[in-house]
């Protein structure tokens, strides 16, 4: 099965309705996903990317039912990660010697993952192009660190399609394939979740790359990413959103995230949330128990927030392991220009707040001085410190 994208360009990917997690179990999937591969049939027949390894045989069979595989003049591997390169083994077994175009690091990645199989790998760099007939060309643009060192995008002149690979994608299965057919709220949410959890660490690089692409003055009619909806209705909307998101994005929101042993820290979390509502009714407040919440969804809320408050009781002179793991992930995502506060009750030694403040600082947050650190259960006196802490967070 194929779906026409524009003129002689078709989608030949895999709609992964049943996918529940991605990157192992590190990224939650709530609305399916897709691995998008594209077939161009101009003077030359070109395949842009493939699909994930478990679907490789179905992918090749599907492709063979649409065209004579021997007609494929070359393959573009925009990115070596196996959700896009994983079918190359099965495909190149059928059409050995077919040229594969990729970046220098893409070649390393492919050989590293699949071994030296004598594939006809051809290295390209930004600005290189290949004539595909009918007056059209494919132009390559390296997308280093967006999100892997080997990542690349491919631009098709004439039809003005940017095959952007992971950039501008979403883990969201849209049966009709196009952004104008998708649920718009879900599309924005999934695009933001993808940006937060996969691209935000590279936001400064992304901002520069967006400028570089803009300077190339390429007319773009369609942005065809390797996951999720294809942007054909106002495709630049996702570029504008990325420019906004890559620049220390913040909404008027505060997120409270915590874990607890005996509900003492829960009590403080809710007192903080109540106080935020009291001091700033227009501020969106969200509260999550880290141990019971989807970490990727919570991080998307953190991405939207101008400040966070993080809580853990003291356990074994430190913090709960759920919060420690969450903070490590928080650090990886390299959020910018956000404030943070720490809170947590204790029974005996009470190190958690100091530890939280240290880890929040290491994660790049501006940690406010005020904290809430009651022994045992918080009294009204302990909670009297909440307004000052909230005031600092909102300032």
Annotated catalytic residue, options 20, 23, 93, 233: 23
Q: Which residues contact 241 (CB under 8 A, 6 or more apart)?
A: 188, 191, 192
Smallest gap from residue 302 Cβ to ligand FEO (A): 22
Contacting ligand FEO (CB under 6 A), which of 55, 84, 304, 339? 84
151 or 255: whose CB is closer to ligand FEO? 151
Q: Which stretch binds ligand FEO (CB under 6 A): 80-88, 116-124, 238-246, 317-325?
A: 80-88
Nearer to ligand FEO, 146 or 386 (CB): 146
The Cβ of residue 36 has, within 10 Å, a number of other Cβ atoms equal to 26
Q: Which is nearer to ligand FEO, 142 or 166 (CB)?
A: 166
84 assigned to active site: no
Nearer to ligand FEO, 228 or 311 (CB): 228
CA distances from 137 to 106, 154, 163, 290 (A): 21, 10, 13, 49
Query: Strand 45-48 to strand 27-28: parallel, antiparallel, or no bridges (unpaired)?
Result: unpaired
Q: At its nearest, how many Å lie between ligand FEO and the CB of residue 274? A: 41
Contact 253, 364 (CB under 8 A): no
| Whether residue 81 lies in the annotated active site | yes
Please say if 93 is a catalytic residue.
no
Stretch that binds ligand FEO, among 66-74, 81-89, 120-128, 261-269 (CB under 6 A): 81-89
Spatial separation of the C-alpha atoms in residues 345 and 350, rounded to whole Å? 7
Does an H or E element contain 394, and which? Answer: helix 386-394
286 burial (CB, 10 Å; 0-12 / 13-18 / 19+) is middle
Q: How far apart are CA 348 and CA 315, in angstroms?
A: 9
* Active-site residue, 166 included: yes
Q: Minimal distance in Å, beta carbon 221 to ligand FEO? A: 23
Q: Minimum CB separation from ligand FEO for residue 310, in Å?
A: 29
Report which of 367, 352, 361 is spatially closest to residue 309, judged by C-alpha positions: 367
Is 194 designated active site? Answer: yes
Q: Note whether 148 binds ligand FEO by CB under 6 A.
A: yes
Q: Would you give the distance in Å from CA 75 to the centre of its chain?
A: 25
Query: For ligand FEO, which residue of 55, 79, 193, 339 counts as binding (CB under 6 A)?
Result: 79
Closest CA to 83 of 34, 131, 45: 34
CA distance 336 to 5: 37
Q: Based on CB atoms, which residue is closest to ligand FEO, 101 or 258?
A: 101
Catalytic residue ranges: 23, 79, 81, 83, 147, 166, 194, 227
Query: Would you tell me which residues interact with ligand FEO (CB under 6 A)?
Result: 79, 81, 83-84, 147-148, 166, 226-227
């Amino acid at each position: 099965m194929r779906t026409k994208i524009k003129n002689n360009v078709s989608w030949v990917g895999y709609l992964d309705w049943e996918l529940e997690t991605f990157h192992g179990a590190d990224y939650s999937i709530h609305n399916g996903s897709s691995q998008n591969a594209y077939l161009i049939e101009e003077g030359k027949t070109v395949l842009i990317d493939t699909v994930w390894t478990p679907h490789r045989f179905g992918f090749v069979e599907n492709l063979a039912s649409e065209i004579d595989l021997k007609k494929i003049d070359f393959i573009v591997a925009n990115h070596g990660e196996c959700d896009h390169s994983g079918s190359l083994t099965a495909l190149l077994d059928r059409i050995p010697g077919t040229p594969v175009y990729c970046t220098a690091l893409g070649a390393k990645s492919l050989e590293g993952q699949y071994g030296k199989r004598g594939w006809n790998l051809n290295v390209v760099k930004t600005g290189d192009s290949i004539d595909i007939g009918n007056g059209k060309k494919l132009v390559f643009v390296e997308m280093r660190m967006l999100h892997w060192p080997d990542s690349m995008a491919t631009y098709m002149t004439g039809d003005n399609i940017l095959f952007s690979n992971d950039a501008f994608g979403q883990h969201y299965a849209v049966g009709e394939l196009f952004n104008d057919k998708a649920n718009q709220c879900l599309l924005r949410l999934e695009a933001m979740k993808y940006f937060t959890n996969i691209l935000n660490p590279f936001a400064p690089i992304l901002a520069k790359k967006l400028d570089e692409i803009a300077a190339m003055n390429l007319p773009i009619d369609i942005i065809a990413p390797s996951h999720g909806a294809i942007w054909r209705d106002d495709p630049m909307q996702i570029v504008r959103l990325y420019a906004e998101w890559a620049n220390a994005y913040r909404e008027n929101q505060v997120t409270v995230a915590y874990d607890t042993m005996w509900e003492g820290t829960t009590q403080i979390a809710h007192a903080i949330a109540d106080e935020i509502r009291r001091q700033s009714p227009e501020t969106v407040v969200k509260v999550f128990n880290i141990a019971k919440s989807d970490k990727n969804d919570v991080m998307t809320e953190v991405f939207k927030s101008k400040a966070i408050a993080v809580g853990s009781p003291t356990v074994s002179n430190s913090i709960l392991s759920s919060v420690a793991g969450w903070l490590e992930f928080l650090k990886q995502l390299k959020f910018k220009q956000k404030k943070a506060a720490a809170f947590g009750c204790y029974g005996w030694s009470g190190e958690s707040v100091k530890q939280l403040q240290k880890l929040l600082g290491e994660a790049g947050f501006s940690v406010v001085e005020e904290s809430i650190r009651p022994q045992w259960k918080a009294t009204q006196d302990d909670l009297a410190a909440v307004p000052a802490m909230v005031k600092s967070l909102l300032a």
